[in-house]
Amino acid sequence: MTYADFDPKPLFREHGRLIGDGSVGGKAHGLAFGYVSITGSPMAPGVELPDINFVITTEPYCDFVEDNGIGELLEELTSTGDIGDDEFPATLYHRMCQAFREGTVRPSLLRDAEQILEEIGDVPLAIRSSSILEDSQRLSFAGKYGTCFSANTGGHERRRDLLISAVKDVWASLYNPAARAYRTKHGHTDSDEAMAVVVQPVMGRAHGDLYYPEIAGTAFSKVYRRPTPRIRKEDGVTRFCFGLGTRTVDRQKAHLSYLSHPALQPHGNLPADVALMSQNEFDYIDRRSGSFMTGLLADHLSFILREHKLASSFVEIYADNVLYWSGSEQAKNGRPIFSFSNFPRTHPKFFSVIRDLCAFLEDKMGRPADMEYTYDTEEKKLTLLQLRPLASYEEMAKVDLPDVPESRIILKGNRMVSNGKLEHVHHLLFVDPDLYGKDTTFHEVAREIGRVNGKLAGTNYILVGPGRWGSTNPKLGVPVRYNEICNCGCLVEVGILESDYAPELSYGTHFFLDLDEDGILYLPVFSGMQENVFNRPWLDGAFCEIKQHPAVRHYIGDFSVFMDGERELGIVIAND
C-alpha cells in the first residue's frame, strides 16, 4: 500500500463516519492512512489517534455552492471587480464569506450534524479543512484554508448551529486571498478545488473552564533548513508549545527540538536568549464564554503549577539574567516562561516516540512525513492529529561567495544558510525597523508590502524586514499573508538585539513550507553579531522610493544573493 494509491473512503464508511459521497480531501486521506498504518504495528502501544473523525465530503459543499448561487456570485465579482484594485482580493473574500454565512444548507446536512454531535458528545470540536488539493504529494496548502474551533456548549440546537457555522467558514476559506494566490502560483484555478471538512474532538483535558492539550506540536521527518551542520537532513525536527497547537504552525513563539539533538537551542543557551525566544502565552478554549482565548502565563502561573504535576519541566522563571525553578521565591519578581529547558532530560520518551514515529511513517508513505500531534506528560500519551506528505526541498549545488568590497555587502548572515543564489535582481524592498512598530500601523505596513508585491510579479525581488515575516503577532514581525509576499525570490529577516525582533531559526511552521515549495531563499541576519552585516549606511545613503507607509522603502538597482550552505554564510550585495 502506497500513500498515493490508498483509498480512505472505505475506512470512514466502515466506521459510519462518512457524510456524502464526494471526495474526502487530503487531510482525511492522511488521517486514514495514519490509522491503517499504525493499527496493529509496533508503534500502536505508544501512539493514539482521535477516537472519532467525521468527514463531510465535498458533496455537501458542492450542493451548497449550487443551491446558493456561489459560482454565479464568484463570476460576477471577478468580472465586475477591478482586478488592479489593491483591495479587490480582500473585498472579494469578504463578500464570499458573507454569502456562505447567509446561505442555507440542506436538511440532510442538519441531520448529519446532529449525528456528529450525538456521537462525539459535548467536548470542544476542531473543524478542519480537507480540500481536494490540500496535503497532496506535491502541494501542502498548509495554513491556507480554515480551521475552526467550537466550544460545543449550550443547548442541542445551539451546538448544531455552531457546528454548521464553522463548516461554512471552512468552506468559505477556499476563497481567501492567500489560498487563491497559492493556487494561481502553482497553476490551479478556483474550479480545480472543492472543500471537504474533517470534524474531530479537540484532544486535551478540561482544567476548570479551560480546555486544552498540555503539549501540541508538529514534527517533520526531514530537516531541510538547518541552523548548524551538526544537524543532518535525515534527523527530523519537532516544534511544540503548551496549550492548543496554533502557536506551532504560526510564526509565534514555540519550542524547537531537533530529534537527534533535543537539548540544542538554535538561538543560544544563555538565559537571555532562552527568555527572548520562549513562549509566554498559551491558547485554550474557554467553555464558560464559548470562546477561543489567549492567556498570559504570568496570570495563570499558580493555576498551571497546580493543574500540571510536571510543569517544572517546562516552566521556569527568568529574573536577573538567570533561569530559576518555577516554584522559587524569584517567581514573585521574575517573568515566567515556557522554556522547556528540562524537557529533554525529564521526558526522553516524548522525543524517542516522535523520532520513531517520523521514521515509521516516512517508510510507510514512501516519502518524508509531516504530522501534528498532542502529548500528555503524565499519561505519556501521544495522539496523532494530522499526517501529510512533506514537500521536498532540494538545495542547489555548492555556491561560492564572490570576493567583493565590504561597502557593497548590504546584508550578511551566518545561521540557517542553505545553498542558493539569485543574481541580478533589480528590486529590493526594505521595512525600516526604526519606523516599524513606532505606532500601531503594523497591518498598514503589511498591506503596503502586499501592494508592491503585486506590482513586482515575476521579478524575484529581495524582501528585507525586522523579525519574523508573516507572524500573527505584529510585535514579532510584519504580519503579511502569503499572497502579499508570494512574488519575492529572497526573504531576509533582520534581528535587532535591543528589541524583540528576532529571526526564527525554527523549521516547522507553515511559513517555511511555503519557502520550500516556492524555492524562495531565506537569510536571517543578526545585527551586531560576529560575521553578520546589516549595512545601515548603505540603506540610508542609497536612493530609494518611500512608499505610502514611511517605513517601506523600494530600491531599484542591481542586486545579487549568494548563499554557501557549507560555510554557513550568505550575503546580499549591490553589484554597482
Average pLDDT over residues 169-192: 89
- The region, left, alpha or beta by phi > 0 then psi within -120 to 50, assigned to residue 469 is beta
Give me the residue label for grid cell 570576493.
Answer: 403
Q: pLDDT of 131-180, one tens digit each?
A: 998 876 666 677 788 899 999 999 999 999 999 999 999 999 999 888 88
CB 566 within 8 A of CB 401: no
Cell (9 digits) for 237: 525536527
Selected residue with higher pLDDT from 138 and 568 = 568
d(CA 368, CA 362): 5
pTM, full prediction: 0.87
Residue 462 pLDDT > 80, yes or no? yes
Q: What's residue 396's pLDDT?
A: 66
CB 370 within 8 A of CB 390: yes
Selected residue with higher pLDDT from 264 and 9 = 9
Q: pLDDT of 240-270, one tens digit each?
A: 999 999 888 777 788 989 998 888 887 777 8
CB 407 within 8 A of CB 72: no
Phi and psi at 174, nearest 5°, equal -60, -25
- Please give the torsion angle defined by the CA atoms of residues 39, 42, 47 and 50, in that order, rounded to the nearest 10 degrees: 0
Cell (9 digits) for 9: 473512503
Q: What's residue 88's pLDDT?
A: 64
Average pLDDT, the chain: 89
d(CA 438, CA 107): 52
Q: What string of DSSP letters covers 400-463? A: PPP---GGGEEEEE-SS--SEEEEEEEEEEEE-TTTTTSSS-HHHHHHHHHHHHHHTTTS-EEE
147: which DSSP letter?
A: E
d(CA 249, CA 198): 18
Give me the residue label for grid cell 510564526.
Answer: 251
Domain 9-202 has CATH 3.30.70.330: no
Q: pLDDT of 392-448, one tens digit each?
A: 666 667 888 999 999 999 999 988 888 889 999 999 999 999 999 888 899 999 999
Beta strands 369-376; 18-19: pairing state: unpaired
- HEC string of 380-405 equals CEEEEEEEEECCCCCCCCCCCCCCCC
Q: pLDDT of 343-360, one tens digit each?
A: 999 999 999 999 999 999
Q: What's residue 84's pLDDT?
A: 45
CB 321 within 8 A of CB 281: no
Confidence band, pLDDT 50/70/90 cuts, at residue 83: very low
Q: What's residue 570's pLDDT?
A: 94
Q: What's residue 82's pLDDT?
A: 44
CB 181 within 8 A of CB 485: no
Average pLDDT over residues 527-554: 94
d(CA 279, CA 369): 26
Q: What's residue 471's pLDDT?
A: 83
57: which DSSP letter?
A: -
Cell (9 digits) for 86: 489593491
Cell (9 digits) for 256: 524547537
The winner for highest mean pLDDT among 96-110, 136-150, 379-393, 491-505 is 96-110
CB 558 within 8 A of CB 426: yes
Confidence band, pLDDT 50/70/90 cuts, at residue 28: very high
Residue 465 pLDDT > 50, yes or no? yes
